[in-house]
Structures are given as structure tokens and as C-alpha cells.
Amino acid sequence: MTTTPNGPGGPVDGGAFADPGRRYRLDSRIATGGMGEVWRGTDTTLGRTVAVKLLKHEFADDAGFRTRFESEARNAAALHHPGVAAVFDFGDALDEHAGHRPYLVMELVDGQPLSALLRAGEQMPPEQARRLLGQTADAVAAAHAAGIVHRDIKPANLLVTRDGTVKITDFGIARAAEGVALTQTGQVMGTPQYLSPEQAEGRAATAASDVYSLGVVLFECLAGRRPYVAESPVATALAHIREPIPPLPPDVPSGLAAVTRRALAKDPAERYPDAAAFAAALRDPAAVGAVPPVAAAAAAAPATAVLTGVVPHAAAAEPTQATPARKRRLSPWLLAIPLLLLLGIVVWAIAAGNGDDEPTATDQPTTAETPQQGSTQPSEQPSEQPSKTSEAPQTVTVNPDDYIGRKVKDVERELKDLGLVVTTQEVENTEGGEKDTVTSVDPNGELQEGDSVTVSYLGKPAPPPPPTDGNTGNANNGNGNGNGNS
């Protein structure tokens, strides 16, 4: 950037631009994630408001990333669908303090992420969930038809406008980021809560992998919770691989529940082959099962979700909901997990010591999009407590996208449940936003239990200025000869 922005979450100084050509002015930061920041900006050439995604500096140092980023940005820009946030431009920003930084210029969607609409423990009406996921699947189907696999579908990447229209963002970003050195320390590329079993195992991501992620989002909408929640990203990924599909609430229509279960099948060949088939099933849930599953191998693409040294590459898929789950013998590979985890932690610690040029609370980059591996050994059941014999500190992942836009009391309770010490901070509400809405969680990313976090939220909207009385004022009003106070 040609001028450095102010502190986290604040406005930028006048004249801050994303590009050396000073076309894309950065106006205000919208969000911060594990792969970078999103800004509200202005295309000064065309005079339109845009969204500018500034990726983290470390990505610019990887030659493979730069090549993939350009290719994927071109592919994403070629996607034309009302359900896909349009990509207008891309390039390499120049920050005078931190060097090069890739950026992406996109359509600014007037809406909020689906993650802000989902409230923990609250079910979305089935018809609303079916409509939103149907729209999403139609948009993903357009990408699949063009040979593009998203690889990181999650509520934070699904923007819902005021009229209920869904727009998907971040096509190609996960693909471009595969292979960057950060993922070699044991991190999961993608978001573990929505990751398909084959991605967690390091196998090829396919169109059916996106269907699985769509199924996880649909399950969360219908049940008010994610199907798999564990104490660390690693344990969560293992749950996707090994645990049977949890039951949905009894009030979910049977046809819609069947669609959800098929989308969440462990074996990609037993799911809907692509998003188009999933969308068709959502339009007519009663017809589910009429068409036998179709293998999705033809849609194979390079894998981007790698769980390094955690899950055996050839792990068998778990049976679907219709088949009783069988207890498996531990693979020799799984017995090696503790050593591999400790090795990953050591490598991570060395890398983290090199620091980050961005003003974050820790040297570790935020992980809203690329959560890092847990620091404890996963047990046979991912939901159990981690082993007390592990010397590594227990960590928790805080994704700001899961909390921004929600009520402060709900966010405070959930963060405390993670073992964090929470301080709330009221900030000035100058834009007329909804009172008690969370605007930031700092620090975020990978934290240790007992760490302190500050949750900032909007106070009461600022009152309008009082009307001006022409007979009052100070001596500097008008010609200074009035009856005002001197």
C-alpha cells in the first residue's frame, strides 16, 4: 500500500491505496481473517465502491503462490453468476513498510455473512435453510461446470443480502494458497469444521468435496450446531473422517434430512456428484434416493486441504448414517500421531519466532480461514479431553468471522466456554449500527486457554446534533455581535 493504515479496525489515513497505481483507495477495514484483510474501497477510475482483499505478506514470498494466485484470480474473474461475488481485478500491492502484498478487487456485497445469521443453539426454519442452500448450490454448480472447486465453503464465505440473496466469495483463494510454507507445519488448509474427510486426509478435492461442505452448512442451519465439534482443529478433522453423522432434530422434514445425510457421506462416491445434483435434490427433497449415487472421481482437482502428519493418507472412510458404525483398530500411523504433533509444534514455534510485520497480538497469523493444528494428542473419541501427559499447552482457535455482527452477550459466553478470559469494550457508534453488536475480537487466531481477549461492541447510536439557534452562539458566530457567550 502506498500509505499505511491506522491500527486494527480503524479508518485509514487519507490517500491510502491498495495498488501502486493509486486506483483502489482503501476506505475502511471490514474484516480480518487468517489469510488477510477485507477493506471497503473505491475504484477511483470508475467511481464505484468495491471490496479489496489484501492477502498476508507471507504469501507474496512464495513463488508458487504468486503463479497460482494469478491463475486462480483469472478463473474466478471468468465466473459470471448472480450468486458469485464478481472479481474485478488483482495485483501485487506495495507496502512501504512490509514489501509486496497480493490483493484482489471484488464486488462489494451489501449484506452480512451467513455466520452472523446463525445463532448457537437456534435452528433456522427448514424452508429458509433449504432456500439459502439451494441458492448457494446453484452458484457453486456454475463453478463446477467451469472446472473450479471452491475448497473452503463455510458460512463466513456466504454473504446474504437484505432480500435474502446469497453471494459466494473467495473462489480460488484456497487453491492458490496450497503449498505455501505455512501449511507445512501441520496446519489445515481450509476450515476444519466444514472440511470433507478426503481433504482432511490429504486426498484430492473434488466437486463432491464442496458438496460435503455444503452439507455441513445445511446441517448447521437445521440443527443450530455443527455436526462435529472437538477441542482442536486436528480432533475436529478426525471426527469428520471417523464419526457417524449425528441425528438431526426430529422436526426437520424427512426428505430434507435425507438430502443432508447423503451430502455428508464419508465416501465421496456416495454423495451427490456435484453441486448441481445437490441443488436439484434440495428443490425436491421427497425424491432423494431415486437416483443412485454417482462417483465423483471425474471432478478431481489438486487437494488444498492438507492435515500434515496427523491423518494416515489411506485411512478408510466411515460408513454413512444408514450403516451402523464399526469400531476400528488403531492404525500404526495413528500411534505415531503424538510424535508428529510434537514435531509440528516445534517447527511452528520456530516459525512463529520470526514474527509478522502486521500489528497482531501474537506473532502467529490469524486463522479465520486457515486454522492451525491443535497442540494436544487426539484421543480415540475426538470429543474427549486431551491427554494430560502432553507437554504442549492447550490451544483454542478464535475465528473473528464467527463472532463479528453478533450480540456481545452471546459472544462473551461462547468465548468463556472456550476457557478464555473475556473483557468487553464499548466503542462509539457513529454509523447508527445496532446496539451491542460485536465489531471485533482481539486477539484472535490460535490462543491458549486462559488468554485474555477483548470483545468490542457498538454502544448506543450517537444522538443527532441539536438544532442551531441563530440567536445563540459564541462571539465567533456570524459577525461576533450577537447575544451569544463570549
Q: Tens digit of pLDDT for each residue in 442-452?
A: 888 778 777 88
User: Which residue carries 471417523 as its cell?
Assistant: 242
**Residue tagged active-site, from 95, 152, 210, 274:** 152
The residue ranges of every structural domain in the chain are: 1-108, 112-393, 403-461
Q: Is 419 left (phi over 0), alpha (psi -120 to 50) or beta?
A: left
pLDDT digits (tens, 9 = 90+) for 341-352: 444 443 333 333
Cell numbers placing 263: 451430502
pTM for the model stands at 0.58
Q: What pLDDT shows up at residue 309?
A: 38
Is 152 noted as a catalytic residue in this protein? yes
Top mean-pLDDT range of 54-58, 215-219, 320-324, 401-405: 215-219
With CA atoms as reference, report the closest residue to 240 among 285, 203, 279.
203
When the pLDDT of each residue in the chain is averaged and rounded to a whole number, the result is: 72
Looking up cell 474427510 gives 197
pLDDT the model gives residue 226: 94
Q: Which of 1-10, 25-34, 84-93, 360-369 has the highest average model confidence (pLDDT)?
A: 84-93
C-alpha cell at 126: 427448514
pLDDT higher than 50, residue 131 = yes
The architecture in CATH of the region 1-108 reads: 2-Layer Sandwich (3.30)
Residue 379, C-alpha cell as written in the block: 484421543
pLDDT digits (tens, 9 = 90+) for 220-273: 999 999 999 888 888 999 999 999 999 999 999 999 999 999 999 999 999 999
* Cell, residue 439: 465489531
pLDDT over 90 percentage in the chain: 31
Least Cα distance to 155 among 462, 404, 391, 333 occurs for 404
In this structure, of 130-139, 262-271, 410-419, the range with the lowest mean pLDDT score is: 410-419
What is the model's pLDDT at position 172? 58
Does residue 33 contact residue 368 with C-beta atoms inside 8 Å? yes
CATH topology of domain 112-393: Transferase(Phosphotransferase); domain 1 (1.10.510)
Q: Residue 272 is which amino acid?
A: Y
Cα(475)–Cα(174) distance, integer angstroms: 62
Q: pLDDT digit string (tens) for 144-159?
A: 998 888 888 999 889 9
Helix (H, G, I), strand (E, B) or coil at 300: coil
CATH of 403-461, one of 3.30.10.20, 3.40.50.720, 3.40.50.2000, 3.30.70.1150: 3.30.10.20
Percentages helix, strand, coil for the chain, rounded to the nearest 5?
30, 20, 50
Question: Can you tell me the distance from the alpha carbon of 279 to that of 138, in angstroms, rounded to the nearest whole number?
Answer: 6
d(CA 210, CA 198): 11
Q: What percent of the chain has pLDDT over 70?
A: 63
**Structure-model confidence comparison of residues 430 and 83, the more confident one:** 83
Q: Residue 210 has what pLDDT? A: 95
Cα torsion for 50, 71, 77, 209, to the nearest 10°?
Answer: -100
Helices (H), strands (E): how many in the chain? 13, 13
Residue 34 has pLDDT above 80, yes or no: no
C-alpha cell at 53: 482483499
